[in-house]
Structure 1
Amino acid sequence: MPRPQRCRRVCSLPRQESFTPDGKQNDCDTIVMTVDEYEVIRLMDLVGLTQEQAAVQMDVGRTTVTGIYESARHKVALALVYGRRLLIQGGKIQVCERASSCCNPFCRAVREKRDTIPQKENDTQ
């Protein structure tokens, strides 16, 4: 009997749940990407984390992140190359309970909050 799958921690749910190529109807061939696959793409390709850092953020092992990442990249490639609809839903996930007050610099909620705070003209960070 296989081990039960652990919940993967994600900072928040995606803003957009589907992407459809121009000129295509919503009923075209759909590729389903899970929320944890989306989160790995976000952490590694957008934020720039390593597999080890993403694994710590998501509370899973590095080899698990590797498998999730390979699956997610394959699905994104299929959607781009063949012009298919990409739907983001499902997966065994746990949304971070500290999303609004998290102190982790890789958390999407923290990054968005920081980016929306107006900078003073004198700030020379």
Structure 2
Amino acid sequence: MSPEGNGCCRKQRGRPRVRRTIAREGTYRCFAPLCPADEHEGGTVMLLPEEVEVLRLIDLEGLDQEQAAALLGVSRKTAWRDLHEARRKVADALLNGKTLGIAGCARRGCDTCPHEDGGGDLP
């Protein structure tokens, strides 16, 4: 089994993740609390690109779950599960002062990413 996208080399239980069709791949950015005292205390919550995309489609664009699932190329239940997990992670980051990281962040690896060594500040 390929460890594609999950960042580890061990086998996972259950069915492999279905590849989602993401319209804005690679255009996401991470967010962090502005309070300097909380900068590294809370930790980081990582969102997957498909979780961000389902949040955008349902909460921002106003699509229902069936329409969003069709655009993502997955079942309605899979879209709901991604949406539920994304909302849980965003709520955890907001309420507990954690950094909200997005896998595949467009700024990761460049000199403006605050999470890279020697990186600059957020604009």
Aligned counterpart, 1:18: 30
Secondary structure of the residue aligned to 2:45 is strand
Displacement of 1:20 in angstroms is: 0.3
State the alpha-carbon separation in 2 of the partners of residues 14 and 72 from structure 1: 17
Secondary structure of the residue aligned to 2:46 is strand
CA contact (8 A) 2:42 2:96 kept: no
TM-score (norm 2): 0.66
Q: Which runs of 5+ in 1 are unaligned?
A: 91-125
State the alpha-carbon separation in 2 of the partners of residues 15 and 27 from structure 1: 27
Q: Greater helix share, 1 or 2?
A: 1
Structure showing greater radius of gyration is 1
Alignment of 1:1-125 (within 5 A): 2-13=14-25, 15-24=27-36, 25=39, 28-89=42-103
Identical pairs, percent: 38
State the alpha-carbon separation in 2 of the partners of residues 67 and 60 from structure 1: 11
Secondary structure of the residue aligned to 1:86 is strand
Counting matched residue pairs gives 90
State the alpha-carbon separation in 2 of the partners of residues 18 and 36 from structure 1: 15
State the alpha-carbon separation in 2 of the partners of residues 52 and 64 from structure 1: 10
Displacement of 1:5 in angstroms is: 1.9
Q: Greater strand share, 1 or 2?
A: 1
State the alpha-carbon separation in 1 of the partners of residues 76 and 86 from structure 2: 15
Residues 31 and 15 of structure 1: CA distance in aligned 2, closer, same or farther (over 3 Å) = same
Over aligned residues, Cα RMSD in angstroms? 1.9
AA aligned to 1:35 is: P
1:9-36 C-alpha deviation (Å, 9 max, x unpaired) = 1001253421001024367500001000
State the alpha-carbon separation in 2 of the partners of residues 57 and 9 from structure 1: 7
CA contact (8 A) 1:20 1:26 kept: no
